[in-house]
Amino acid sequence: MAKPKVKSEPILFATPPDPNRCFVLFSKICHDAGTAAVGLRSLASQLDKHPRDRPIKNMRYDAATMRLEIEFETEGKQP
């Protein structure tokens, strides 16, 4: 006897990147200079993909989630 097919909801593995946002999540388990350096290099690598003169709208650090985020002005809405 065949098993009935169960329709499950798709599992989202990754969220499509937001072109107006760069962020990095720091480790809560291993909180030292080495892991901070890796996170900051990752953020710098993301920033290198944007034009140097692109205006930043907001920079914030959320201590609860250990997330450092940079939000750019929406393209076309630059001052």
Q: Where are the domains of the chain?
A: 21-72
Reported in sequence order, the residue ranges of the chain that DSSP labels E, i.e. its strands, are 21-25, 56-62, 67-72
Of 69 and 75, more confident: 69
At residue 17 the predicted structure's pLDDT band, cuts being 50, 70 and 90, is confident
CB 68 within 8 Å of CB 61: yes
pLDDT tens column, 28-58: 888 899 999 999 999 999 999 999 999 999 9
**What pLDDT score was predicted for residue 79?**
54
* Mean confidence (pLDDT) of the chain: 86
**What pLDDT score was predicted for residue 37?**
95
Taking the alpha carbons at both ends of the chain, their separation in whole angstroms is 67
**What pLDDT score was predicted for residue 5?**
72
**What pLDDT score was predicted for residue 31?**
86
